[in-house]
Amino acid sequence: MFIVNNYLLAIIFCFITMLCWGSFGNTQKLAGKTWRYELFYWDYVIGILLFSLLSAFTLGSIGDEGRSFIPDLAQAEWGNIGSAFLGGVIFNAANILLSAAIAIAGLSVAFPVGIGLALVLGVIINYIGQPTGNPALLFGGVGLVTVAIALNAVAYNKLSKQGKAVSSKGITVSLAAGLLMSFFYRFVAASMDLDNFVSPAAGKMTPYTAFVIFACGVLASNFIFNTIVMRKPFEGAPVSYKAYFRGGFSIHLVGILGGLIWALGNALNLIAAGKAGAAISYGLGQGAIVVSAFWGVVIWKEFKNAPEGTNGYLYAMFALFIAGLGLIVAAGM
């Protein structure tokens, strides 16, 4: 299988993850003009599963190092399979809430608040599980991200007071998503041998196999979580499965594309975790906050005509996020 053997390449992969995780929401915004996010989400999940299988049978099954996908799956212990599967279930619950938050409050609020919280808690959780990197730099970066989250909340509050945003529901749902999102990666990482991808311990899985099991957890739980949300939506009237099958090919393709984009980032992140460590790999990947906030502010104009002074908070937010991510990168050098 393909293995990352140096820290620089691992960091490059994490930055690609950042771009992918921060950009998939654009497909939801695009589809949202005519398509409910609950329906979009089914195609998104299908896209994740398809890419996990593609990566497993290509990069996960070539080369002379490590175990290829099928032999790796055959020898995996049920405890590790269950851990990766549970990671997918937790992620799916969190991501459905995040998708709801995007629909309610927009990319420039849902990601910085929700994923910002996930970054802060997730780095701590993953560092405890695998203490890799300089803790002073790592948690210094996390501290800057925390301040950036607070600034985004202030900017959103100013916008709300002017009637440009819906309500405090957007922040509440974002925080719930972030709390759940902070836990999923630890379960997936625990199913892999992060210390040795070349000769992984017996019973542990390679990142490619873990990703497939994770994706199965996402799909299986979606029949529960998304069905509930379709019947009891956060906003709007209930939506039926008939509405999904009435969608045209192009609208389904947008959702699948969103899943493929997110899955590419996730695959590269798991591959990089062996060299960068789970805490750094996860933390950098969740730098998607900056990317999504950029899309929301600059492309989708979610803060257009905001009260005077709001832009100052947004500029400070971007600066602190970037500085925080820089410290997280430095923590592994």
Helix, strand, coil % in the chain, rounded to nearest 5: 75, 0, 25
What's the residue count for the chain?
333
Report d(CA 208, CA 129) in Å as an integer.
20
Contact 112, 297 (CB under 8 A): no
Residue 165 has pLDDT above 60, yes or no: no
Other beta carbons less than 10 A from residue 121's beta carbon: 17
CA distances from residue 170 to 32, 108, 274 in whole angstroms, order as listed: 16, 11, 35
**DSSP letter string over 76-116?**
--HHHHHHHHHHHHHHHHHHHHHHHHHHHH-HHHHIIIIIH
For the stretch 257-305, pLDDT in tens is 999 999 999 999 999 998 888 888 888 887 777 787 778 777 777 777 7
Neighbours of 227 (CB within 10 A): 12
Q: Do 112 and 213 form a contact (C-beta atoms < 8 A)?
A: no
Sign, CA dihedral 254-256-257-263, equals positive
Asked if 192 and 205 count as a contact pair (C-beta separation under 8 A), the reply is yes
Its pTM stands at 0.85
CB 29 within 8 A of CB 300: yes
Maximum pairwise Cα distance, the chain:
60
Task: Give the tens place of pLDDT for each residue, 8-19.
Answer: 999 999 989 989
* CA-wise closest residue to 245 among 76, 80, 30, 43: 43
Q: Could you tell me if 308 and 159 are in contact, meaning their C-beta atoms sit under 8 angstroms apart?
A: no
Q: Which among 123, 119, 58 has a CA at the least distance from the CA of 276?
A: 123
Summarize the confidence of residues 233-262 as an average pLDDT.
93
pLDDT, tens only, 63-106: 888 899 999 999 999 999 999 999 999 999 998 998 888 778 77
Band of residue 163 on the pLDDT scale cut at 50, 70, 90: low
Give dist(CA 259, CA 282) in Å, integer: 18
| Burial class for 333, CB neighbours closer than 10 Å (0-12, 13-18, 19+) | exposed
Residue entry with tokens 């591959």: 271
Contact 198, 274 (CB under 8 A): no
CA distance 6 to 138: 19
pLDDT of residue 146: 83
Specify the pLDDT at position 109. Answer: 72
For 78, other C-beta atoms within 10 Å of its C-beta total 9
E-state strands within the chain: none
